[in-house]
Structures are given as structure tokens and as C-alpha cells.
Amino acid sequence: MAKPSPVSPLAPKQVPVLPPIKGVTLATAEAGIKYKGRTDVMAMIFDQPAAVAGVFTKSKCPSAPVDLCRAHLPKGRAKILIVNSGNANAFTGKKGIAATKLTAEIAATAANCAIDEVYLSSTGVIGEPLDATKFEGHIEQMVKTAEPDAWYQSAQAIMTTDTFAKVATQTASIDGKNYTINGMSKGAGMIAPDMATMLAYVVTDAPVSAAVLQDYLSASTKTTFNAVTVDGDTSTSDTLLAFATGAEEFTNPDDEKLAAFKAAFHAVLHDLAMQIIRDGEGIRKVMRVEVEGATSQDAAKKIAMSIANSPLVKTAIAGEDANWGRVVMAVGKAGEPADRDRLQIRFGDIIVARDGEREEGYSEEKCAAYMKNDEIVIGVDIGLGTERFTAWGCDLTKEYVEINGDYRS
């Protein structure tokens, strides 16, 4: 039987208190889907249908709840969100489709809304049928008892191998009025979002349309959730949804009045993505990979992710070994334009290799001391162009193997 993992040593020292947002309430329940003695279902209920936007996994084997959300998204309105942990309802065939249908029907009845105003997410074990009858009674009760300040409890309910609940909040001004942006996420393994098992939900009372939300969500995802990797594995269930409860006064994403809101919205997504990487399974160190001098941004990203995903680089970081040869390997295997004789590699501010060979005067002792830090920066200058990309990863430890070796136990 797997034992609960201790809280990540890189967990935030302080947890923000998320203020209530007008028009939304939350609740949790113990449905006994997999876990005993803990909440495993979260409901988010909107007083009036909210504007909604979303991005999802690019996995060719998506879960049934992902299919449902994609089907409902064109309407652009949401009345209720139901999220369960312990079972991903993925690769569950006709039974999975039936489970989402039943869950959506239960939720629609409880929230008194249309089926296509229901959004679902499931996270946990893949391939196990989800018994949706376990939601009966619970969803109706959650709708009745939902509270405006149950953000942290809701983030706890959707955890799987996470060691801490992930929440973030920002305030932004639009045309002289202040609005709140709250967010929660979960994820610690199977993280290489390509839109990790990653779920995230952001809610605001700002008076923006679904089109504005979708524009900002798609743009920010590229440099936040799509720039982090724990293990290089993209989940079947990745879902990122954003909701706005205010009247749709602003419908143009390029409206200058929305500049502060756009920045705060991005800040919430970035905060949540960084919490996911800081809770990577078995993590002891965060790796920030800064690639510059690439021929295109796409090339810069592929090289950065090649480094961040390399098991050899990750184990070197875990062992506090400045093995820059493994970085060279990861650059070369990325398949993007690179020139061995123009390459420069650094750990932090310490240049270790330049122009195709080890840096003259390189100090192993100085670099070894730097590698003891909790956050390691690997800088790579390709030397062929002007494009750059930053990715975040983590080390690979024995604990990661233990956590995933026991995951279904």
C-alpha cells in the first residue's frame, strides 16, 4: 500500500486566502471513489451561467470528461463544474461515456440548467470504470450547501499524488473598477501539458466575454502550463478552464482597458504552473532552462523541453552534478538547428562550455557549490538566431520511482 508523500520541500511557505467572487460558490464531498476518509469531489456552481473558455490535452487518447467539455465549449456558458479525484474515467470505453452522461444529468438537475452548461473533469487512475452512481445525492447536496469561500477545500478535494493544494489569486483594475481572479490547480506527475495529470480552473468577476477569456487563456498557456514538465508524459485528462461571472461589457481582447487584467490573469496561470512544478513527484530541485539564440521560438522551445525532459539531465541535477555533457546531448537530440562550435552553456552565471569546448578556467568546485541550490538555472545560447524560450522542470529522484511504482496499490 502506497504511503502518503510528505509535503514537497519546495511548497509555498504561505498559502494565499482566496476572497469570495460574486456569482460563484463551491462545495466538496466524500464520495468514496478511491480514497477513504477524505473529500474527492468538488462542485463549482454559478448563480447565473458564466462565460467559459478552455484548453485541453492534445493526447490522442483523451478522457471521456475532456470529450464532454470540448463538446459543450462552443456554447460558451457554464452553470456548474464537477471534478472528482481518484479515477480519471479515461480509456473506459462505452462505460466512460455512460458515466459522464449520468454525471452530467445529475449535475444539470441539481443546478437546474441545460446539459451543455455542465462541465466535468476526472483525475486519477486510467482504465478503471467510474461508478457515477456514487455522485447521486452528493451533487445535489453540494449545490445546496455551497459557500463562496471554499476555494482551498475545493483544491484539496481534487488532489491525487499532490502533496499540497494549489491556489492563487490576483486583483486587477478595469476602467477604474477592481476585479478578482482566483485559481486552483492539481498535478504532480504525468506532467508535460500539451494543450499535467493536470487540471486547473480560474474564475473572475471581471465583465469579459468568453472570446476574451479564450484569447488570454490560449496565449498564456504557451508560456505557463505548456512550459513546465515533470516527467515528459502528457495526461489523458489535462483540462484548463476559465470562467467569468460578470456581465460581458468587454468583448475585444485587444481593448487597452484590459491590459492590467490580462497581466493579472497571466500571473495567476504562471503561479499555478510553478506550484505544479514545485510539487513534482519526489522533487528536491526545480530546473529552469533558458534557451536563447535559436532560429525560431518553436526551435527554442523544443530544445528547452529536450533538456528539461532528459532523464540524464534530471538525474544529474538530483545528484548535484554539473554534467554539461548531458546538456549538449539534449540539445543535439532535439532535432533543431544547432552548431556545436557556437554553443554556450552555463549553470546559473557560471559559463561551463563555449565555442564547442569546456570554458577555459572552468572551476568544478565553484559549479559544484552552485548545484546545491534548490533552483538550478541551465542557460543555453545556440548562437544561430534571436529567439528564446524558458521551460521549467525538476530533478528525477528515487522517490519518483517509488510513488509511481505504488500508484495503483
Residues labelled as active-site residues:
197
In sequence order, which residues have a C-beta less than 8 Å from that of residue 8 and are 6 or more positions away? 163, 164, 278, 279, 280, 283
Backbone angles phi and psi of 376, in degrees to 5: -110, 125
**With b meaning 16 or more CB within 10 Å and e meaning fewer, what string describes 96-135?**
beebbebbbebbbebbebeebbbbbbbbbbbebebebebb
Closest CA to 290 of 259, 237, 327: 327
| Termini Cα distance of the chain | 5
Residue 287 CA, distance from chain mean position: 16
The annotation status of 160 as a binding-site residue, yes or no, is yes
Closest CA to 326 of 374, 376, 283, 372: 376
Could you tell me which residues are beta bridge partners of residue 120? Answer: 82
User: Is 186 assigned to a binding site?
Assistant: yes
Q: Is 409 annotated as a binding residue?
A: yes
d(CA 106, CA 132) in angstroms, rounded, equals 9
Three-state SS for 17-44 is: CCCCCCCEEEEEECCCCCCCCCCCEEEE
State the burial class of residue 383 (Cβ atoms within 10 Å of its Cβ: 0-12, 13-18, 19+): middle
Q: What angle do CA 184, 190, 194 make, to 5 degrees?
A: 75
Contact indicator for 326, 285 with CB cutoff of 8 Å: no
Name the binding residues.
160, 186, 197, 281, 404, 409
Q: Which residues are annotated as a binding site for substrate?
A: 160, 186, 197, 281, 404, 409
